[in-house]
């Protein structure tokens, strides 16, 4: 058994649990006898640039507290990555201590299906769109030097696609799980006889539809005149205005309505932290 952890670069530097885990790594009752940490260092954390995310030069510097070896490797060079991974595995098997592989790469698309990185990192993403994907680059090289044939390459791709398709189909058979099954203590009084959470009472917080419509309209408008807005964003604003007109709300508009109604009561709202510039939280 060999423990392997996969991390994002921003998460590796920013999540306290990573630092805590490094300090557990060599304690007699907690050690895994060496974990290989693989950091997918795509040089961005959701929409946050490294200079806004951490104070150390490398995202992997947190591993220096235990003097773990850290290998920075160009992820566009699969053979270099394989080489570094074998060295890391050998190190771990010889010394039974943690080791880090920093895969220096880029993220072709957004952090998730809702994220458009051209809104927040347009220059970086113009460069990224010009990059030939590593799979194509490496396949072209292997085919050109006769290591594999085009047919062998295509068969491998089809094999992998099949694994993904089958897993996707299997994921749909999952039976519905009750929340109770996820909790490790009985929480008496919290659940009803069917295992569902009991409804809790809270003071009325409703506001008039007129006020909600007003907030929806403000949230669909551009605050500054003569402001050239990204076409993707104006589409979002237009959709938001349509929703307000049709008395529909999605999560983001509901969030605006919550903030807006609190503002209307004269209470300041301060959004702070990573990614708020795009209105994530
Ligand atoms: C405990 C916790 N803190 C903060 C967040 C908010 N958050 C979501 S994604 C993200 C950045 C993740 O960056 P990275 O690990 O580099 O992944 P990438 O965006 O490159 O996919 C943050 C801070 C979270 N989801 N969980």
* pLDDT by 10s per residue, the chain, length 281: 899 999 999 999 999 999 999 999 999 989 999 999 999 999 999 999 999 999 999 999 999 999 999 999 999 999 999 999 999 999 999 999 999 999 999 999 999 888 889 989 999 999 999 999 999 999 999 999 999 999 999 999 999 999 999 999 988 876 656 666 666 666 777 777 777 777 767 778 899 999 999 999 999 998 888 888 888 888 989 999 999 999 999 988 999 999 999 999 999 998 877 677 766 54
ipTM of the complex: 0.91
Where in the chain do CATH 3.40.50.970 domains reside? 3-130
Strand order in the sheet with 70-74: 3-8, 35-41, 99-104, 70-74
pLDDT, position 20: 94
For atom 9 of ligand 1, the residue with the nearest CA is 46
Reading the block at residue 5, the tokens are: 């952890």
Handedness of CA 122, 272, 244, 222 (dihedral sign): negative
Position in ligand 1 atom list of the atom nearest CA 45: 13
| Domain 3-130 architecture | 3-Layer(aba) Sandwich (3.40)
**How remote is the CA of residue 252 from the centroid of ligand 1, in Å?**
19
Pocket test for ligand 1, best of 10, 19, 275, 278 (most atoms within 8 A of CB): 10
Name all residues whose Cβ lies below 6 A of ligand 1: 8-11, 42, 44-46, 107, 111, 274
The whole-angstrom separation of Cα 52 and Cα 278 is 15
The whole-angstrom separation of Cα 64 and Cα 75 is 22
Position in ligand 1 atom list of the atom nearest CA 273: 23
The whole-angstrom separation of Cα 221 and Cα 234 is 9
**How remote is the CA of residue 9 from the centroid of ligand 1, in Å?**
9
């Amino acid at each position: 058994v060999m423990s392997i952890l996969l991390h994002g670069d921003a998460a590796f530097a920013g999540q306290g649990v990573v630092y805590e885990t490094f300090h557990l790594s060599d304690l007699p009752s907690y050690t895994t006898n060496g974990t290989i940490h693989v950091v997918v260092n795509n040089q961005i954390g959701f929409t946050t640039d490294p200079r806004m995310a951490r104070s150390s030069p490398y995202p992997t510097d947190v591993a220096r507290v235990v003097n773990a070896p850290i290998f920075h490797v160009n992820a566009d060079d699969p053979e270099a990555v394989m080489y570094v991974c074998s060295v890391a595995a050998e190190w771990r098997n010889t010394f039974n201590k943690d080791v880090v592989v920093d895969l220096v790469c880029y993220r072709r698309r957004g952090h998730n299906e809702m994220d458009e990185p051209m809104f927040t990192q347009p220059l970086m993403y113009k460069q990224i769109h010009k990059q030939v994907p590593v799979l194509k680059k490496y396949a072209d090289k292997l085919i050109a030097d006769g290591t594999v044939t085009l047919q062998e390459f295509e068969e491998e791709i089809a094999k992998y696609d099949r694994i993904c398709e089958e897993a996707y189909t299997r994921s749909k058979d999952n039976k519905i799980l009750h929340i109770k099954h996820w909790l490790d203590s009985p929480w008496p009084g919290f659940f009803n006889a069917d295992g569902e959470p009991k409804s809790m009472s809270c003071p009325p917080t409703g506001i008039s539809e007129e006020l909600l419509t007003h907030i929806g309209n403000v949230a669909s408008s551009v605050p500054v005149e003569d402001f050239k807005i990204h076409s993707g964003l104006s589409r979002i604003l237009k959709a938001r205005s349509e929703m307000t007109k049709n008395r529909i709300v999605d999560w983001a508009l509901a969030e605006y309505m919550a903030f807006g109604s609190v503002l209307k009561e004269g209470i300041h709202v301060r959004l702070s932290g990573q990614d708020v510039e795009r209105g994530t939280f």
